[in-house]
Amino acid sequence: MLKIYGIPTLNTTKILLTAEEIGLDYQFIQVDFANGEHKTVEFMQMHPLGKVPAIDDSGNYLFESNAICRYLAVKHASPLYQGNALEKALIDQWLDMVAHHAGKWMGVFFFEEAIRPKIFDHPPRKEPLIEAQEYLDLQMPIIDKQLANDTFFTGNQLTIADIVAFSFVHTHESTSLTLNAYPNIGRWYQQIKTRDSFGRAMANYPVQYP
């Protein structure tokens, strides 16, 4: 059985949601960072940086969440990542655009407003938030426009681009960011959030996330 190692973070959510959409049997194992489980010899064999998420698929270890999502979709011939070279490139294009650009800046908000106060007991820093907002003001309208005419990023079929993007956008619920100015993103977000697969994925977490 597929084993998914992680903690309640957006990167783990990507994999859980992908597994649920495909309909896989899997075991979710929450890694105990407080007791150093991520630095054991056994775990470091799965992820050489001692981070999460990682998977054990019948003795085959993989890390990096986006690579794992692609792997699971390809292995199981899922429509989450199918098509010719161009169709797959379009999925990759939007996946990477969100992950490396808008998602990066959403991550700044999540770290500053959710992680720093709760985990490190420090207030958010203003400078990173100002920079992040400036970039999001440029990038979010592009995403909203892309979603104006199609249900999902590359048409009417949910793909791993949507799953990865959704996992980043989901963090906005723990920050001051809103989707009010982006009606198409808001519609797309709610459509994925209300899927049964999302509820099943989130049921793995002992506390609500974000």
Reported as a single tens digit per residue, the pLDDT across 148-195 is 999 999 999 999 999 999 999 999 999 999 999 999 999 999 999 999
Identify the CATH assignment for 2-79 out of 3.40.30.10, 3.90.1150.10, 3.40.718.10, 3.60.40.10.
3.40.30.10
Reported as a single tens digit per residue, the pLDDT across 58-102 is 999 999 999 999 999 999 999 999 999 999 999 999 999 999 999
pLDDT at 209 over 60: no
The whole-number pLDDT of residue 118 equals 82
Question: Is 1.10.260.40 the CATH classification of the domain at 80-197?
Answer: no
* Residue keyed to tokens 């949601």: 17
What residue spans define the domains of the chain?
A: 2-79, 80-197
The whole-number pLDDT of residue 208 equals 60
Sign of CA dihedral 110, 55, 63, 85: negative
> For 48-56, what is the mean pLDDT?
96
Q: Mean pLDDT check: name the lowest of 11-15, 111-115, 133-137.
A: 111-115
Alpha-carbon gap, residue 141 to 122, rounded angstroms = 32
The dihedral over CA atoms of 122, 123, 127, 130, expressed in degrees to the nearest 10, equals: 140
> For 30-52, what is the mean pLDDT?
93
pLDDT at 210 over 60: no
Alpha-carbon gap, residue 15 to 164, rounded angstroms = 9
C-alpha pair distances (Å), 171 with each of 1, 59, 85, 117, 189: 29, 32, 31, 15, 12
What is the maximal distance between C-alpha atoms in the chain? 49
